[in-house]
Structure 1
Amino acid sequence: MSNRLQQRFAECAEQNRAALVTYICAGDPGYDASLSLLQQLPGAGADIIELGMPFSDPMADGPTIQAAAVRALDNGQTQRKTLEMVRAFRATDQTTPLVLMGYYNPIHRYGAEAFLNEAHAAGVDGLLIVDLPAEHDNELGPMARDLGLDMIRMASPTTDAKRLPRVLANASGFLYYVSLNGVTGVGQADNAVVDAALAAIRQQSNLPICVGFGVRTPEQAAAFARTATGVVVGSALVEAMFKGGEAAALELTRGLAGAMQR
């Protein structure tokens, strides 16, 4: 399964562009609407999709994605329905990498082994569990790797040289670099500082590095695309969907995709 990520990054490298990684929250504003957007994102230029698993206490997310999670849960979205959404997506798209992003509590409640087996069978390529640091890799990591699921890790400006090797040790798929301290969708990073951090990470790892947090416009995305392997956009897309519907979200995606060329 993880070959989809490897293949997509290789394709982007051949085309001399960064990968556009788009985040949407499963079930926001409702199941059918989010599935429709999910199915159309690749055609609008999304290279990799992060599908958010809504949770009632998403502490790393800013107000936009918190509100999306509330809307999704209020509309009856569950872990089971999120996996159903992945299966529906895979019925028509076998090539776009899809990563489930979220928090450990809903997975623990579902049953870790059952969740991983069903995620693999549905066509998930990787997991990014925000509150499951590298130090707790044994919670999901061994089982996930046995199934071929990538465990994507996060690094940030506060990840020092002593901790970075632990973060990288069992990471696969790509490394998600948080461009600034705080929550998603708030603030803007200093590009020079991010570029220096990516250079330091690359001295220790060959993993693709995707930069996220605070990327809202094609102009901001283009600045990161010059040095990052990929650029993650979430809050801006969720907001576009909420305020302007599917058409607005897809228009933003097309604009962001055009900014990936180096």
Structure 2
Amino acid sequence: MSVREAIEQARREGRAALIGYLPVGFPDVATSVAAMKAMVAGGVDVVEVGLPYSDPLIDGPLIQRATEAALAAGTTPQDGIAAVRALTGTPALIMTYWTLVDRYGVEQFAAGLAASGGAGLITPDLIPDEAAEWHTAATRHGLDRVHLVAPTSTRERIALAARSSRGFLYAASLMGVTGERAQVSAGAKDLVTRAREATDLPVCVGLGVGDGAQAAEVAGFADGVIVGSAFVRALMNTPDVPSGLAAVEAMARELASGVRHRWS
């Protein structure tokens, strides 16, 4: 099943899709993969596999701590591709900063990701104007390419990002770094409305969702709810691996319940 098919299946069930992010390699590669599987067991429809990077642009403090630990332990892009392979049966995207792919080799990375069964890439720092090489490789290997729009994006930039994306359009609900917020950004719903004027792609909202109530709120106007920091927190704030995996699955169940009881 592709990412878009998973989102459309959720829509047929009368709910938004739940997309869960975790960085590979935290606290180690095997545990991070087990945590991704725990997210799926708890109700996540699509997995974002984060590649740790030394200079993240939009990652908040919690994710930065996790990715720094993963890098210190020697986590590599190959570990991300291996994690995708381990998620057979669940659509999995890699979320990465473009420098990592460029250094790895765009064609080589695309070929490896496709061979592992991966769905594609989310590239938060790659603007469509500079993405021709990636678009060509993604098309050749049948991979999704997910670009971001923000509350400050103009109508023209939203249209360009939509035309350049495949799978879904990522609506960053606020400016700044990732992380849970006390409330959902007031501009998120307006951004989704503007994005839908430009595309028939699913529009999924990320940045700031931390619990089931917020997931329900976003599910009331978006096709998908993207959650990262809440899962990292669940894995990080436990005394041992079994407790961490249980906490991740419990968080997924809470969020999955939220997207099924969306606010009007």
Q: CA deviation at 1:134?
A: 0.9
Matched, 1:210 2:209: no
Q: Is the 8 A contact 1:54 1:73 kept in 2?
A: yes
Q: Are 2:38 and 2:248, in contact at CA under 8 Å, matched by a contact in 1?
A: no
State the partner residue of 1:53.
Answer: 51
Residues 133-176 of structure 1 deviation map (CA, whole Å, 9 limit, x = unaligned): 11112131111112110100100101011322221121110011
Structure 2 contact 180–230 (Cα < 8 Å) conserved: no
2:18 aligned residue (10, 15, 20): 20
* Paired position in structure 2 for 1:157: 151
In structure 1, the residue matched to 2:78 is: 80
* Aligned equivalent of 1:247: 246
Question: Runs of 5+ in structure 1 lacking a partner?
Answer: none
Alignment of 1:61-76 (within 5 A): 61-76=59-74
Q: Residue 32 in 1 paired to residue 26 in 2?
A: no
Q: Secondary structure at the match of 1:198?
A: helix
Structure 1 residues 180 and 30: alpha-carbon distance in aligned structure 2, compared to 1, 3 A threshold: same
SS of equivalent to 1:24: strand
SS at match of 2:18: strand
Q: Structure 1 segments of 4 or more deviating over 3 A?
A: 186-192
CA distance in 2, matches of 1:72, 1:136: 29
Match for 1:173: what amino acid? G
Contact 1:179-1:189 within 8 A present in 2 as well: no
C-alpha contact 2:33 2:83 (8 A) present in aligned 1 = yes
Equivalent residue letter for 1:12? A
**Structure 1 counterpart of 2:3, one-letter code:** L
Gaps of 5+ in 2: 239-243
Match of 1:233 in 2: 227
TM-score by length of 2: 0.93
Give the aligned partner of residue 175 of structure 1. Answer: 169
Name the aligned partner's letter for residue 197 of structure 1: L
> Which residue type is aligned with residue 258 of structure 1?
S
In the alignment, which residue of structure 2 is the partner of 1:257?
256
Q: Please state how far the C-alpha of 1:189 moved relative to its aligned partner.
A: 5.7
> Is the alpha carbon distance of 1:42 and 1:186 closer, same or farther for their aligned partners in structure 2, counting shifts above 3 Å?
closer
Contact 1:184 1:235 in 2 (8 A): yes
Task: Give the Å deviation of 1:123.
Answer: 0.8
Report if the CA contact (8 A) 2:2-2:119 is conserved. Answer: yes
Secondary structure (helix, strand or coil) at the match of 1:177 reads strand
The partner residue of 1:138 within 127, 132, 144 is: 132
RMSD: 1.4
Shift of 1:97: 0.9
Contact 1:156 1:181 in 2 (8 A): yes
Counterpart position of 2:99: 105
Q: 1:224 aligns with which of 193, 218, 223?
A: 218
| Aligned-partner Cα distance in 2 for 1:190–1:111 | 37
Q: What one-letter code is carried by the residue in structure 2 that aligns with 1:255?
A: E
